[in-house]
Structure 1
Amino acid sequence: MKNFCYAICVAIGALTLTVCAAESTAITSNAASSPHTAQDMGNLYYDTGKDCGGNTAPAFLCSGIIIRETARPVAGQSYYFWQPSPSSLHEGAVSFSYIRHDARFDKFKSNGSHGYTLYPLLGKYRYSGSDRKIKLDVLCSFPLDGWTDYRQNEGCGPDTTYLKQSSPCQGQGITTAQQWLTQYKSGDGGLNQSNGLYQCGFDVSEGSKYGNTAQAFYATIQARDMFNDVSFQEQDELRLTVWTTDVDPSVLPIQSLFYIVANSNDDGGQGLKDAQDDQSDYYKVTNGGFIPIIRITLPQSSSSDFDFHFIASDQFVPIPSN
């Protein structure tokens, strides 16, 4: 788009968009440097499709946002935000969450203030040079935090405490949100229990032996919606295949860096600084690679939504001209 004003503010939650542009042009995600990333994320967030074109094409492939909170290294540690942790390497998978208009929560597991998001693999908002990016497969999904550190099989399998109940949902004959909720409520803590090991996770992996992974993932979303007042207070969980610590970060399908704010008066504080440090690390290691920092406002109630904003002054490294 010609003469695009980089001082852009995208208020997706209020369904408004303020831009400065000389002409009207279709907005796509052709460049990771595009300030349109915030609008793309908003469009993905409000796309509540059940699948991406078939029974084996779950909605996460083309809608919603796969998101991960991260932490900056403390004294004596040295690592980059894109590197998997030792535990993730051992387990063979990395934990993410999924946000969409029908999959909302008010905080991350560790009350994290920054992290990164991934491009979808399919659809209008996929990275245009996706052939240059490695594919990160989603293995399983949990309507609530799955306590996956304690589970077998990349965190998608059972835990010995509840060997039957914590095994993959479809293997127990659980294929719908109502069936999942009925089992979850049967635990000692009932609907308000805090033991994530009692729930089962849905196998949504490519080539799953259970078939219809699109329905399985949609059941994950529907289960949250069925008890939104409870699920709103806890994030969902996806497990993705792990990558190596020495991977070239430019081949990872990273869509954005983000920092969290509670409202319009929140300046981002340490979260913004950490996101800027992450952006600087990526820029240096990739010899000028740019990932936009997006300001994300958390929902304040179970009936409100995430907001996404690109702010030029938040960017710590030069914004590419195209």
Structure 2
Amino acid sequence: MEEVFNMKKLLTLLALSCITACSSTGGRAPEQAIVAKTATVESAVHSVSAESGYDVAARLKARYGDTRDDCGAASKPAFLCSGLLVRGGEPSTQYDIWNPSPTSEKNGGVSFSFLRSDYKMKRLAYTYESGFIFYPVLSTPQGKELIEILCFFPVDGSSNARINGGCDEHPNYPVISKSCEQQNPVIDTAAKWVGKYRADAAAGRSKYEAMCSFNVSDSANSAASGRFLEGMRGGRLISPEAFDKPNDVKLKTWPQNIPDRLPIEAFFYTQPAGLAGAQLYQRRFRQLTGTTIPIIYIPLPQTLDQSASFSYIPADQTQ
């Protein structure tokens, strides 16, 4: 029998291995401790080595080109080991980009997009030009949070207004916008998802608000890989809509002010104008944690024939 992947078990194992390393900080650091720590680390110079930055860019490029269907089991969806989970944001000195928004705290989900060479998108949500990338769950470094992936919308599903992590029904379309496995009849293939998507549009409904999401959470177990794969197939069937409008992957909301525990692999920008924002994130993250995360330039494809590229540029990095 195939072993079922369970994030809770993985969390337990990593927690045990982290006991010694985490004991000096007493577990989760309160916001006051982070503020106090800032004064200690902000005067030090922490720079990204060229080798580490180039390595990160090469790793991101490799995952972008890795088009596997799953990560070795029906319970291990492809996003656990391939592709990129990216979140864009608006640069600001009033809040930190990695902190969940009030909306995310209310509905329990944070929106990312899945980027891979066989599931391209031309822009970030809200046309943001900078953001950050999480490590895939199966490559999460020791001591970092394992953030659960909850559901997948092949294109933007107006998830901020939805309940249950942003994955369930939209208030404008109760019942018919519930997650795909709750639909009657159940929607479990790309063709069925596309059929509903087009039927909603033909009926004059908002196809984004009436859309159903594919539940790929830990509770989905052996159904998770197939659901994610069918979701991507569904997006391709409505091409170029899924290229023009970013997909929406909901991750479980994490606590505020824990930058040192988040699995941030890189900061990035997609347009030259986005570099200043990425530099703001890098500088602020170093100020709070003493660690410098590299900035990677990722211009996105503007046609389906193009692909994203990944460049580590030493001059982009802050001191």
Q: CA deviation at 1:131?
A: 2.4
Q: How many pairs were matched up?
A: 268
Residues 253/164 of structure 1: CA separation in 2 closer, same or farther (3 Å cut) = same
SS at match of 2:188: coil
Q: Is the 8 A contact 1:175 1:219 kept in 2?
A: yes
Q: 5 Å matches for 1:1-322?
A: 33-73=52-92, 78-122=94-138, 126-127=139-140, 130-172=141-183, 173-189=186-202, 195-208=207-220, 211-247=222-258, 249-261=259-271, 268-269=272-273, 271-287=274-290, 289-317=291-319
Give the TM-score of the pair, scaled to structure 2.
0.80
Gaps in structure 1 of 5+ consecutive residues: 1-30, 262-267, 318-322
Gaps in structure 2 of 5+ consecutive residues: 1-49
Residues 166/278 of structure 1: CA separation in 2 closer, same or farther (3 Å cut) = same
State the AA in 2 paired with 1:307.
S
Give the TM-score of the pair, scaled to structure 1.
0.79
Q: Is the 8 A contact 2:200 2:206 kept in 1?
A: no
Residues 32/214 of structure 1: CA separation in 2 closer, same or farther (3 Å cut) = farther
C-alpha distance in 1 between matches for 2:206 and 2:64: 27
Residues 164/303 of structure 1: CA separation in 2 closer, same or farther (3 Å cut) = farther
C-alpha distance in 1 between matches for 2:170 and 2:267: 33
CA RMSD of aligned residues (A): 1.9
SS at match of 2:220: coil
C-alpha distance in 2 between matches for 1:165 and 1:299: 34
Residues 141/244 of structure 1: CA separation in 2 closer, same or farther (3 Å cut) = same
Stretches (4+) displaced over 3 A: 31-34, 192-195
SS at match of 2:266: strand
C-alpha distance in 2 between matches for 1:154 and 1:174: 20
Q: CA deviation at 1:105?
A: 1.2
Residues 32/241 of structure 1: CA separation in 2 closer, same or farther (3 Å cut) = farther
Q: CA deviation at 1:278?
A: 0.9
Q: Is the 8 A contact 2:65 2:83 kept in 1?
A: yes
Q: Is the 8 A contact 2:170 2:177 kept in 1?
A: yes
State the AA in 1 paired with 2:306.
S
C-alpha distance in 1 between matches for 2:171 and 2:88: 28
Residues 38/90 of structure 1: CA separation in 2 closer, same or farther (3 Å cut) = same
SS at match of 2:132: strand
SS at match of 1:256: strand
Q: CA deviation at 1:110?
A: 1.0
Q: Is the 8 A contact 1:32 1:291 kept in 2?
A: no
